[in-house]
Amino acid sequence: MPFKHNAARRHRIGKMKFKVTNWREYEAGLRRRGSLTLWVTPEALAGWHAPRRRICGGQRRYSDLAIETALTLACVFSLPLRQTEGFIGSILDLLGLQLPVPDHTTLSRRAQKWERPAGRLPSMPDGPIHVLIDSTGLKIYGAGQRLEARHGTRSRRNWRKLHLAVNAGNGDIVAETLTDQTIDDPAQVEPLLNQIDGEIGQFTADGAYDGSPTYRAVLKHSDTANIVIPPRSTAVESNGDTGPPDQRDKHIAAIAKDGRLKWQVTTGYGKRSLVKTAIGPYKNLIGRRLRARSFPAQQTEVAIGCIVLNRMLACARPNSVRCQEKQA
């Protein structure tokens, strides 16, 4: 970002100040995030029981929507599965409903086989969208840093990598994947784009995604997409390897002619910070550590966390404007 070039004199640059213009609606939405009626919907209670299967074997007692509701409550209120079981039981008692409560063993087992139903991702707006992609790390169960520093042990479990695709227009998370820490970022571009049904007008990512695999994956999804990825300082022209039109070569030529700062302003690369704005609330509201221990359950936990975060943003989204600095 441009401010990195001013690191030596950063203390002289005043911090930008913003003002929320819809504070009353934003405050009401923040209170609504804690309402049980937002997370326990009448549709979930009506479809609590699983439909009967016509094949051999046991019958499921709880529907996928019931399991998703329980896991959503656990995610929103940061509850272990046993406390989630008691929490749901108290809610059903207060509502006067004679519905069975899934125990913590059932929740743990069904979380490993849960699949996202159609329509859970936010609806795409009309026309092409601006997609921002980035990744972050999430801690998992295992030996902590203090234990490693004190006893010299090393945990075999380290951390997972969460890959997010964000709509720059409204900040919604439109796609997510969870991988092991050894998976590189460009390898997840195509799986993320496969979750997006709409057309992509612009694709923006940082320099870690620079290369022909990313360009080919984006152009395969939307052949007219404008790709904004800063090439490395040692980048050379690719001679058409990134597909027609060769946008990467144009970025290299523009940076060589006018400099990287002007290229960032011209291409709108500064909007990439919006994906960091989505990663911050995820870690603050959902958590920095995964509670589930098996990898399929961790994928379910992340998917439900993204659904929860999108619903929270739909309830309360601030409209911020930059305050004008007073002239001396």
Residue 4 in domain:
no
Rounded Cα distance between 167 and 163, Å, is 14
Map tokens 């022909």 to a residue: 212
Residue 153 in domain:
yes
Structurally, the chain folds into a number of domains equal to: 2
Residue 18 in domain:
no
| Coil, helix or strand at residue 162 | strand
Do residues 42 and 188 share a domain? Answer: no
Do residues 146 and 174 share a domain? Answer: yes
Residue 6 in domain:
no
State the number of CA atoms in the 13 A half-sphere of 185 facing the CB: 15
Residue 149 in domain:
yes
Residue 320 in domain:
no
Do residues 153 and 243 share a domain? Answer: yes
Do residues 190 and 89 share a domain? Answer: no
Question: In sequence order, which ranges of the chain are alpha helices (DSSP H)?
Answer: 23-32, 36-39, 42-46, 64-76, 81-95, 104-111, 145-151, 189-193, 212-221, 247-258, 260-267, 273-281, 295-315
Do residues 180 and 215 share a domain? Answer: yes
Rounded Cα distance between 11 and 7, Å, is 8
- Inform me whether the pLDDT recorded for 118 exceeds 70: no
| Average pLDDT of the residues of the chain | 86
The enclosing domain of 259 has a CATH number of: 3.30.420
End-to-end alpha-carbon separation of the chain, Å?
A: 28
Q: Are 102 and 66 in contact (CB under 8 A)?
A: yes
Q: Which residue range forms the structural domain that includes residue 35?
A: 26-111
Do residues 62 and 105 share a domain? Answer: yes
Do residues 162 and 76 share a domain? Answer: no
| Coil, helix or strand at residue 97 | coil
Q: Tell me the pTM.
A: 0.85
Instruction: Tell me the per-residue pLDDT of 202-261, one tens digit each, with 9 for 90 and over.
Output: 999 999 999 889 999 999 999 899 999 999 888 777 665 545 458 888 898 899 888 888
